[in-house]
Amino acid sequence: MAIMDDLRRGAAGDELPSLGLGVVAHGAGDLRVQQVQIRPPGPDEALVEIVYGGICGSDLHYWQHGSSGTSILRAPMLLGHEIVGRVLRPARDGSGPSAGTPVAVHPARPDPGDGRVRFPADRPNLSPAGTYLGSAAHLPHTDGAFVKYASLPGRMLRPLDRELPMRTAALIEPAAVAWHAVAQAGPVAGRRVLVIGSGPIGALVVAVLKRAGATEIVAVDLHEHALQIARRVGATHTMLAADTAAVDAVDADVVIESSGSRQGLASAIRAATRGGRIVMVGMLPSGDQPIPVATAIVRELQLVGSFRFNDEIDEVIAALEDGSLQIDPVVTHEFDVTDALEAFQTALDPARSGKVLLRF
């Protein structure tokens, strides 16, 4: 990320920023707020002025461990994929939103690769060579957009109603993850649903479940602070994870496991009713996990994975704009990008934070 001249001339003669303050992971325990080069936009790319970026669990993992799941950090990488902003300069080819348009960002670029790895054509989130903003899954890594200005393909940009607060809009990407997870559960209207792990994704799952008409929504977490947020967005009952007997006795039609821990998945299996479905949206560590599989077999439970999302982002935007999805309580803190290190420390403590935003 070399430092260039302070300004770059665009094709139309207008001055484009070439530097912006960004948040870069250099390795485990090495997070830096630094000036980074703004890549000049290609013909089909818009220059977006970022307003907010939400700190995701994957961002925390890259900072803390130098990896997120099976994605290993092998070079410095600009973090950030939960982003919203405004189009500063539209794409030169005329595609995408016009200048001044507020936008959310779909951070995925599906890619089928060389065709040797099969995946369902209607589920591009499973494409083997696909990339995601702020991901070290491939080398070279795909830089994110925790930076003042970002050049992004027009196909990634989703125009927003100017009346939608940008602070709320900053939750669109993780809310799409939650929406996809609920879709993986099948019909939930009139059913009892247990959500294990009530951090930002779990709380957003609760909100989506409420909109979808679940009769009972039981939220579980290690921390009372997270359960307070879950109640505000629609949980009908809450339980501390330490009360294992109460959690095991829920007898849920559907369980959505969003803690990303083997203990959470084990609790999900024990708490699901016979013939029930478990959706695994929390990212467990790579490798084998000790869980009560025999219980899942004799109860004929369905264990279903949930990975990112496809076009659900458009449904989330529509639901936020018509007021049918209420998620504001999930945001608990915002920090200026210059205070990103403090923001990451805050996000690392689930006992006192929900979703933490960076303000650019």
Domains and CATH numbers, the chain: 7-171+327-359 (3.90.180.10), 175-305 (3.40.50.720)
Lowest mean pLDDT among 58-62, 68-72, 203-207, 304-308: 68-72
17-34: average pLDDT:
95
Confidence check: pLDDT of 83 > 50: yes
Residue predicted with more confidence, 145 or 1: 145
The pLDDT assigned to 215 comes to 97
Confidence check: pLDDT of 1 > 80: no
For 183-195, what is each residue's pLDDT tens digit? 999 999 999 999 9
The pLDDT assigned to 70 comes to 83
What is the radius of gyration, based on Cα positions, of the chain? Answer: 20
The pLDDT assigned to 14 comes to 60
Residue 281 CA to residue 283 CA, distance in Å, equals 6
User: DSSP secondary-structure letter at 45?
Assistant: E
Residue 200 CA to residue 171 CA, distance in Å, equals 9
314-329: average pLDDT:
98
Confidence check: pLDDT of 12 > 90: no
Residue 318 CA to residue 296 CA, distance in Å, equals 37
Residue 188 CA to residue 4 CA, distance in Å, equals 53
The mean of the pLDDT values for the chain is 94
Lowest mean pLDDT among 111-115, 129-133, 159-163, 270-274: 111-115
What percentage of the chain has pLDDT greater than the value 90? 88
Confidence check: pLDDT of 41 > 50: yes
Residues in Cβ contact with 148 at an 8 Å cutoff, skipping those fewer than 6 apart: 17, 20, 21, 22, 49, 50, 337, 360
Confidence check: pLDDT of 110 > 70: yes
Confidence check: pLDDT of 8 > 70: no
Residue 292 CA to residue 254 CA, distance in Å, equals 17
Residue 233 CA to residue 237 CA, distance in Å, equals 12
103-130: average pLDDT:
92
Among 117, 133, 132, CA closest to 80: 133
Confidence check: pLDDT of 4 > 50: no
49-57: average pLDDT:
97
The pLDDT assigned to 16 comes to 77
Among 357, 167, 202, CA closest to 279: 202
Residue predicted with more confidence, 171 or 1: 171
Please say whether the dihedral angle defined by the alpha carbons of residues 79, 84, 85 and 87, taken in this order, is positive or negative. Answer: positive
pTM of the model: 0.93
Lowest mean pLDDT among 1-15, 215-229, 271-285: 1-15
pLDDT grade for 15, boundaries at 50, 70 and 90:
confident
**CA distances (Å), 164 to each of 95, 147, 159, 338, in order?**
23, 22, 11, 26
pLDDT grade for 10, boundaries at 50, 70 and 90:
very low
| Burial track 30-44 (b if 16+ CB lie within 10 A, e otherwise) | ebebebbbbbebeee
For residue 87, the cross-strand partners are: 48
pLDDT grade for 115, boundaries at 50, 70 and 90:
confident
